Amino acid sequence: MAAKPSRRRHRQNEPQGTRELILAEAMRLIARDGVEEMKVKDVADAVGIQTPSIYKHFENRDAIIAELSRNMVEELAQFLNPDPDLPPLAWLETWVKGLVWFYASRPAYVRMVLRDLATPGGFEPMVAALGPVEETANIDAVARFDDAFRAAYAKGVDAGVFQPIDHSTFYSMLFGAVLVSLAWPYSATRKPFGAAELDRLQSIAVAAALHLAKKI
């Protein structure tokens, strides 16, 4: 088995603050090695600081994951907000392509959400940050995201372009398909995820969304 590349990656001289560097390196390590393999010492080595210095910013490893969880939902709410005045089909296509791009460009978030989904009751650091999984819809950022989606989708229904749907089912099918597709490890012919793969997955996701939403 080939050895993993070194985790050490000195970044002391970069202009970001130490807290932001810790989060950035934690994301890089989670994306590369998985949530369970992200260790405080590896993050400290990557940033170029001593391990005790991490604890000036975060109580422990779980606190780092919790902060990343809060960042994820806030970033998603801000990012997945296409112009509601677009024609309904263009709006939905933009929304779905944005969903794919958001997670494709943030693979650590993919691994975190899948880890959360795989744990009955939710992954403990994410539950600590965001609350019980059954109350996800009450998170401020999630509520903003959902309200914007529902309002824009309702315009499509009123225009006779979309059919009424159960939004929870729509989210579960779209998010689930995108997240699993981005993390799927079992294909012997899978290539590194690049522009062509992104375009292909975006096209597939748009087709799936239209199948669910478009009025027949």
Q: What are the boundaries of each domain within the chain?
A: 18-54, 70-213
Nearest in space to 107 (alpha carbons), one of 213, 172, 207, 192:
192
What is the separation, in whole angstroms, between the first and last Cα of the chain? 52
Contacts of 33 (CB under 8 A, 6+ apart): 4
Residue whose structure tokens are 């989670």 = 30
Of residues 68, 94, 70, 69, the one with CA closest to residue 80: 94
Would you state the pLDDT for residue 15?
40
H or E element, residue 171: helix 167-183
pLDDT at residue 28 in the model: 96
The model carries a pTM of 0.89
Residue 205 in tokens = 């996701």
Ranges in the chain, pLDDT < 50: 1-15
What pLDDT does 14 receive? 45
Q: Which CATH number fits domain 18-54: 1.10.10, 3.10.450, 3.30.2320, 2.60.120?
A: 1.10.10
How far lies 96's CA from each of 106, 148, 169, in Å? 16, 14, 15
pLDDT in tens, 21-38: 999 999 999 999 999 999
pLDDT score of 16: 58
Pick the CATH number of 70-213 from 3.30.1240.10, 1.20.1050.40, 3.30.930.10, 1.10.357.10: 1.10.357.10
Confirm whether 18-54 and 70-213 share one CATH topology: no
